[in-house]
Amino acid sequence: MKEQKLTSLVNEMTLDEKIAQLTQLATPFFKGASDGGQITGPMADMGITDEMIENAGSVLGASGAKEVKNIQRKHLEDNRLGIPLLVMSDIVHGYKTIFPVPLGIGCSWDLELAEKSAEIAAKEASASGVHVTFAPMVDLVRDPRWGRVMESTGEDPYLNSEYARAFVRGFQGNDLTTEKDRVAACVKHFAAYGAAEGGRDYNTVDMSERELRENYLPAYQAALDEGCEMVMTAFNTVFGIPATGNKKLMRSILREEMGFDGILISDWGAVKEMIPHGVAEDEKEAALKALTAGVDIEMMTSTYVKYLKALVEEGQLDESLIDEAVQRILTLKEKLGLFENPYRGADEELENEIVMSAAHREASRELAAKSAVLLKNEGVLPLKKDQKVALIGPFAENGDILGPWSWLGSKEDAVTVKEGFLQKIDPSQLAVAKGSDIETITEEQIKEALEAANDADVIVLALGEDSDMSGEAGCRADIKLLGAQLELIQRMKELGKPMVSVLFNGRPLDLHGVWDQTDAVLEAWYPGTEGGAAIADLLFGDRNPSGRLTMSFPYSAGQIPVYYNHFNTGRPKGAPDAQERYVSQYLDIPNSPLFPFGFGLSYTEFTYGGMKLSREKMTCEDSLEISVTVTNSGSVSGEEVVQLYVRDVSGEVVRPLKELKDFEKIKLEPGESKEVSFIIREEQLRYHHSDLTFTSDPGTFIAYIGGNSRDAMEKSFTLLK
Ligand code: GLC
């Protein structure tokens, strides 16, 4: 159906039908849904009528080829003009084959595998009838108290942008009109949801426009540049106005400046939440503000269907704004081919064949292994396959390793750590005990754990947070490991045996009581369906850890926010001429994080040498090549993430001490060396000035190359006028 046909379809629609297209409801509202058609509960509360449902534009949370076909079929029977539903769901890090949480995927520094994970998720989801996924979430994060850091790829705008592109490519493929096994992506949450004050979900976000543009907008722009079809609004305020009603943010910045002409959907209830935010007297005003700001679809509140018609009839709202929104929604339906085939990729046979297939599980296992970060290892890893191992802790046999937003993934399908270990060693070599629950511990549990570990050669502690301690509304003020588990560590330490901590969690933790009390620490995040197998691959040396942190681990919550690309201040601690006291420091803890951005260990060693520049001065027209020789000076093959950072020594505004500009993940055999080169161009040196112009300045720069943001070789160069 071409443009003009869509326009004529819009013209055929009544105002009520148009407005209903702008409404998204969850499955229980729909007759064809297994839990659908309940006239009581939610429908009555929201004032939703049968007619509104018959004309609704999209359904939230449907899945399963059979179920989706039923919902669509029933809907088309009732819809006067035969306009099909868009089926949208949260497929964030896997559909049913669950991959590591995105913060884990981010630590893999493997963009290809990240893209592959999104492709697999899309193929499973599209065969199951889904058309759109509410992903990728690309919010930049600097506060691990926030529950949703697990959903992001971390604290760096450049790296988040690279992952945004990779995820959109994976979800959408090259052409959604022809590739029915992909889904449309919806980048979220626009904008700057990750900067909620105090790391408390839904809390105020308040920052300068320069900061927003410099650090928080790039990843959304990257997703849009990759063709992302939809954008979701953030719950929070931006410049003092809730994003969902923020005309400057949505019309001026998102649509006009960033060039987005696709569908803008509100987050769940965010339109109506403008009332408690205090910018709308009532639902009618909320509806007016949201549509005026350009929000095309209202998710799970009903202000549009209840008040837009009156607003038009009263002359407060021009119907053309509604027509524009409808046109955008129908355009996506047309692009997805839903007018020709409302069932698109839904295919029960294909669904049975590919969902949770061995190939998909293997991809999940590989990515889980690449996402884990070895934070400490004092000679205890890898484990030997003839050792007697005691596996102790609440995550020893726990399937809760899928993490939040793993919706259709099932814990029962997850490979536990115990199951992973039994793929490596004989049962006679393995003793398992829970030792504690996530938040509680008993003397009985301790006794059982001590007995289990009594004649072990090594103790592996499987510890972490319950998955509902992360994710949406999963915020924690104290980010230590739970007290019961810290006590378990102390009690197990009494045995005087080597101890390894494996952590299952969705945020950087304050690791006091863990990293200082055990001989090795492996951060596994929530590794997904094959998590236990991947962890066993790593601990027994069949894979060498290669993950590198993309979010700093604070020394303590008192340091937050702590991130690598910070400013120097006028009184930097440790400067050559710094005074003892009057510098920017804490009296009781260090300034630097416990583990910095980019950090991660390996079972081998990598050494850097021979750093050189192709020239020391460059102009805006040319570029500069910078190279270094990396050697695997250890005894096993391994992968290293070679990272390039740049510092602009003096800008029109203060500039970060380091900014990631490029990276390369390389594999080296023992003794092997490789020259790694990067090209620096003037456009990589641009930044937002105080007047918001985005340009570079001539002057001195320092290039750093290393295996993390702290330990790096450096050389200066000059950008000429
Ligand atoms: C939630 C989340 C959003 C999600 C949406 C639909 O509140 O904020 O990320 O996509 O609702 O489930």
Query: Which ligand 1 atom minimizes the distance to the CA of 186?
Result: 10
Query: Which ligand 1 atom minimizes the distance to the CA of 189?
Result: 9
Is a pLDDT exceeding 60 seen at residue 37? no
Looking at the fold, whether 80 and 137 belong to one and the same domain comes out as yes
Query: Which ligand 1 atom minimizes the distance to the CA of 135?
Result: 10
Is a pLDDT exceeding 60 seen at residue 498? yes
pLDDT digit string, tens, across residues 278-311: 999 999 999 999 999 999 999 999 999 999 999 9
Tell me which amino acid residue 37 is: G
Looking at the fold, whether 644 and 677 belong to one and the same domain comes out as yes
Nearest CA to 226 out of 192, 176, 153, 178 is that of 176
pLDDT confidence of residue 5:
87
* H-helix or E-strand spanning residue 287: helix 283-293
Q: Where are the alpha helices (DSSP H) in 397-553?
A: 417-422, 443-453, 483-493, 531-539
Nearest CA to 397 out of 432, 426, 365, 428 is that of 432
Q: How far is the CA of 316 from the centre of ligand 1 (A)?
A: 30
pLDDT digit string, tens, across residues 358-389: 999 999 999 999 999 999 999 999 999 999 99
pLDDT confidence of residue 39:
46
Looking at the fold, whether 265 and 319 belong to one and the same domain comes out as yes
Atom 8 of ligand 1, residue of closest alpha carbon? 267
Q: Are 536 and 557 spatial neighbours (Cβ–Cβ below 8 Å)?
A: no
Query: Which ligand 1 atom minimizes the distance to the CA of 134?
Result: 10
pLDDT confidence of residue 148:
98
Q: Is residue 585 part of a domain?
A: no
Measure Cα distances from 132 to 54, 158, 187, 663 in Å.
Answer: 20, 26, 11, 31
pLDDT confidence of residue 47:
83
Nearest CA to 124 out of 520, 522, 339, 413 is that of 413
Looking at the fold, whether 322 and 405 belong to one and the same domain comes out as no
Return the number of other C-beta atoms located less than 10 Å from residue 300's C-beta: 20
- CA 571 from centroid of its chain's CA atoms: 35
- 271 sits in the region (left: phi over 0; alpha: psi -120 to 50; else beta) called alpha
- Write the DSSP symbol of residue 487: H
Beta pairing, strands 638-648 & 699-706:
antiparallel
Looking at the fold, whether 177 and 293 belong to one and the same domain comes out as yes
Listed residues 537, 556, 587: the one ending a domain: 537
Q: Is residue 435 part of a domain?
A: yes
Q: How far is the CA of 269 from the centre of ligand 1 (A)?
A: 9
Query: Can you tell me which residue has the tokens 């709308």?
Result: 280
Burial class (CB in 10 A: 0-12, 13-18, 19+), 605: middle
Report d(CA 106, CA 81) in Å as an integer: 44
Q: How far is the CA of 63 from the centre of ligand 1 (A)?
A: 16
Looking at the fold, whether 373 and 345 belong to one and the same domain comes out as no
Atom 7 of ligand 1, residue of closest alpha carbon? 268
Measure Cα distances from 456 to 436, 498, 518 in Å.
Answer: 19, 10, 16
pLDDT digit string, tens, across residues 527-574: 999 999 999 999 999 999 999 999 999 999 999 999 999 999 999 999
Q: Are 41 and 344 spatial neighbours (Cβ–Cβ below 8 Å)?
A: no
Q: How far is the CA of 101 from the centre of ligand 1 (A)?
A: 16
Atom 11 of ligand 1, residue of closest alpha carbon? 268
Q: Range of 416's domain?
A: 364-537
Looking at the fold, whether 385 and 337 belong to one and the same domain comes out as no
Is a pLDDT exceeding 80 seen at residue 179? yes
Which of 24, 93, 134 to probe ligand 1 with, by most ligand atoms within 8 A of CB? 134
pLDDT confidence of residue 30:
87
Report d(CA 78, CA 58) in Å as an integer: 14
Report d(CA 217, CA 210) in Å as an integer: 10
Atom 12 of ligand 1, residue of closest alpha carbon? 90
Looking at the fold, whether 460 and 314 belong to one and the same domain comes out as no
Residue 207 sits in a domain whose CATH number is: 3.20.20.300
Dihedral sign, Cα of residue 295, residue 299, residue 300, residue 306: positive
Looking at the fold, whether 129 and 239 belong to one and the same domain comes out as yes
Average pLDDT over residues 12-37: 89
31 pLDDT band, cuts 50/70/90, is confident
Q: How many structural domains is the chain composed of?
A: 3
Of 156, 267, 400, 537, the catalytic one is 267
Atom 3 of ligand 1, residue of closest alpha carbon? 267
Q: Is residue 43 part of a domain?
A: yes
Looking at the fold, whether 229 and 328 belong to one and the same domain comes out as yes
> Three-state DSSP class for 572?
strand
Q: Which residues pair with 390 in a beta bridge?
A: 431, 459
Ligand 1: lining residues by beta carbon, under 6 Å: 90, 134, 188, 267-268, 472
DSSP 202-257: T------HHHIIIIISHHHHHHHHTT--EEEE-SSEETTEEGGG-HIIIIIIIIII
Q: Are 536 and 424 spatial neighbours (Cβ–Cβ below 8 Å)?
A: yes
Q: How far is the CA of 135 from the centre of ligand 1 (A)?
A: 10
Nearest CA to 481 out of 445, 521, 448, 442 is that of 521
pLDDT confidence of residue 48:
85
Report d(CA 551, CA 145) in Å as an integer: 12
> Is 110 among the catalytic positions?
no
Tokens in use for 513? Answer: 């009581």
Listed residues 537, 558, 592: the one ending a domain: 537
Q: Percent of the chain having pLDDT more than 70?
A: 99
Nearest CA to 64 out of 44, 41, 35, 39 is that of 35
Looking at the fold, whether 78 and 199 belong to one and the same domain comes out as yes
Burial class (CB in 10 A: 0-12, 13-18, 19+), 367: buried
Q: How far is the CA of 489 from the centre of ligand 1 (A)?
A: 36
Is a pLDDT exceeding 90 seen at residue 2? no
Looking at the fold, whether 344 and 369 belong to one and the same domain comes out as no
Is a pLDDT exceeding 90 seen at residue 32? no
Q: Is residue 598 part of a domain?
A: no
Which of 24, 88, 90 to probe ligand 1 with, by most ligand atoms within 8 A of CB? 90
Q: Are 484 and 417 spatial neighbours (Cβ–Cβ below 8 Å)?
A: no
pLDDT digit string, tens, across residues 105-136: 999 999 999 999 999 999 999 999 999 999 99
Upstream peptide bond of 561 is cis (omega within 30 degrees of 0)? yes
Query: Which ligand 1 atom minimizes the distance to the CA of 269?
Result: 7
Report d(CA 146, CA 233) in Å as an integer: 18
Mean pLDDT in the chain?
96
**Which residues lie below 8 Å from residue 559, measured CB to CB, with a gap of 6+?**
586, 589, 591, 593
Q: How far is the CA of 278 from the centre of ligand 1 (A)?
A: 22
Residue 625 sits in a domain whose CATH number is: 2.60.40.10
Listed residues 285, 320, 350: the one ending a domain: 350
Q: Is residue 456 part of a domain?
A: yes
> Three-state DSSP class for 700?
strand
Atom 1 of ligand 1, residue of closest alpha carbon? 268
The model scores a pTM over 0.85? yes
